[in-house]
């Protein structure tokens, strides 16, 4: 049985000597605040009809931002639909993220140099790909580490087992981060698995498994950082379970009150990661209401500029919908492409 790593209490007190200095902690808080603002504004855009279905991540900022901050620039991040916070922290431009959630072709492929794979919607299919990127990098001597995200529900898929086993056997430089947010749409974790301590499964693969308080930015950042260093040193994969809670609906199309008691969600919300980190920083004398105000103003301006940039993306041609499926078009794809072009 694995214990749960935490550094900061729910009310923002340090429980142990912190592995990061004040400057780094502020950097981490800023990245979480930036992600929260993105999430809030994205929901507003969706309600205005300016984004498609959007999967919120409110309450999961520490798990995502902490893990992403543990990567180096040359490392790869492999996200599911839930990980917009991680993706923008690892360099995905905000405008590209918005275009992706607008289902605009300009958001389908991420810019050159951004080491983030596109958001995966088919559950757990990203995991074998992530292991492939890691293994290929090792064979080619690239030196990169891959951070692969999956949800608690996703770990029930066959792809998760295959990816974990392959990565373990071949010592692939990959870190698996399971965001255990308690729900797979309407199915609670205890209805998905007998042992809800997902990190315990690592023993079955012969790799380290670490359970971490996923609402504690410092703990996630430190634990994933150690796993990244291990992977980079050729010691193979780690399974990190970040225990958090899905405070928001599954997506903007979901009504969680149909399947769960939302008063429990309210209770769980008291442990949300931003307030905890802000309290920690204020206790250290490294943050103030004025700094918060200035940061929010700066982030609003950045987001507004990203929306303006996304709005300028050219109207997509109808045939774009069948492009970029395969590197070379097969006969069916070409027929569809020609028909959509009107030729």
Ligand X SMILES: Cc1ncc(C[n+]2csc(CCOP(=O)(O)OP(=O)(O)O)c2C)c(N)n1
In the residue annotation, 90 being an active-site residue is answered as no
Per CB under 6 A, the list member of 154, 173, 214, 237 interacting with ligand X is 154
Question: Which among 85-93, 94-102, 121-129, 266-274 is the span making contact with ligand X, rule CB under 6 A?
Answer: 121-129
Q: Which is nearer to ligand X, 107 or 214 (CB)?
A: 214
CB of 104 to ligand X, least distance (A): 21
Q: Which is nearer to ligand X, 41 or 82 (CB)?
A: 82
Site for ligand X in 56-85 (CB under 6 A): 82
Site for ligand X in 220-249 (CB under 6 A): 246
Residue whose token pair is 């694995």? 2
78 near 130, Cβ under 8 Å?
A: yes
Per CB under 6 A, the list member of 152, 213, 222, 272 interacting with ligand X is 152
Q: Which of 152, 210, 195, 239 is nearest to 5 (CA)?
A: 210
In the residue annotation, 246 being an active-site residue is answered as yes
Pairing relationship of beta strands 187-188 and 183-184 according to DSSP bridges: antiparallel
62 near 16, Cβ under 8 Å?
A: no
CB of 181 to ligand X, least distance (A): 5
121 interacts with ligand X by CB under 6 A = yes
Question: Which among 21-29, 39-47, 183-191, 213-221 is the span making contact with ligand X, rule CB under 6 A?
Answer: 183-191
181 interacts with ligand X by CB under 6 A = yes
94 interacts with ligand X by CB under 6 A = no
Per CB under 6 A, the list member of 26, 127, 134, 184 interacting with ligand X is 184
Site for ligand X in 122-151 (CB under 6 A): 122-123, 151
Choosing from 191, 259, 334, 341, the catalytic residue is 259
120 interacts with ligand X by CB under 6 A = no
Dihedral class, residue 161 (left if φ above 0, else alpha if ψ from -120 to 50, else beta): alpha
User: Which pair of structure tokens corresponds to residue 95?
Assistant: 């405008």
With 0-12 / 13-18 / 19 or more C-beta atoms within 10 angstroms meaning exposed / middle / buried, residue 139 is exposed
Question: Which among 25-33, 117-125, 164-172, 332-340 is the span making contact with ligand X, rule CB under 6 A?
Answer: 117-125
99 vs 296: CA distance, rounded Å: 23
| Enzyme catalytic residues | 246, 250, 259
Note the residues at the interface with ligand X (CB under 6 A).
82, 121-123, 151-154, 181, 183-185, 246, 250
């Amino acid at each position: 049985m694995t214990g749960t790593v935490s550094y900061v209490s729910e009310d923002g007190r340090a429980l142990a000597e912190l592995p990061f200095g004040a400057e780094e902690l502020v950097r981490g808080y800023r990245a979480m605040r930036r992600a929260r603002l993105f999430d809030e504004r994205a929901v507003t855009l969706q309600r205005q009809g300016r984004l498609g279905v959007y999967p919120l991540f409110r309450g999961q900022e520490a798990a995502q931002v902490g893990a992403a901050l543990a990567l180096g620039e040359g490392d790869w991040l492999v996200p599911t639909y839930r990980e917009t916070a991680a993706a923008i922290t690892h360099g995905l431009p905000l405008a590209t993220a918005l275009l992706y959630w607008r289902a605009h072709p300009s958001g389908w492929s991420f810019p050159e140099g951004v080491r983030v794979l596109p958001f995966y919607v088919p559950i757990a299919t990203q995991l074998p790909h992530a292991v492939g990127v890691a293994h290929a990098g090792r064979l080619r001597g690239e030196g990169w580490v891959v951070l692969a995200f999956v949800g608690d529900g996703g770990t029930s898929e066959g792809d998760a087992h295959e990816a974990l086993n392959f990565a373990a056997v071949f010592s692939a430089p990959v870190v698996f981060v399971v965001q255990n947010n308690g729900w797979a749409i309407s199915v609670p974790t205890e209805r998905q698995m007998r042992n809800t301590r997902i990190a315990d499964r690592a023993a079955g693969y012969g790799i380290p498994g670490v359970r971490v308080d996923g609402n504690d930015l410092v703990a996630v950042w430190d634990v994933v950082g150690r796993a990244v260093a291990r992977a980079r040193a050729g010691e193979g994969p780690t399974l990190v379970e970040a225990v958090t809670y899905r405070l928001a609906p599954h997506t903007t199309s979901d009504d969680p009150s149909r399947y769960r008691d939302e008063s429990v969600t309210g209770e769980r919300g008291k442990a949300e990661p931003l307030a905890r980190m802000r309290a920690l920083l204020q206790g250290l004398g490294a943050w103030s209401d004025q700094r918060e105000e200035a940061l929010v103003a700066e982030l609003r301006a950045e987001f507004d500029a990203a929306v303006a940039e996304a709005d300028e993306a050219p109207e997509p041609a109808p045939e774009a919908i069948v492009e970029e499926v395969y590197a070379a078009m097969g006969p069916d794809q070409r027929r569809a492409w020609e028909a959509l072009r009107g030729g």
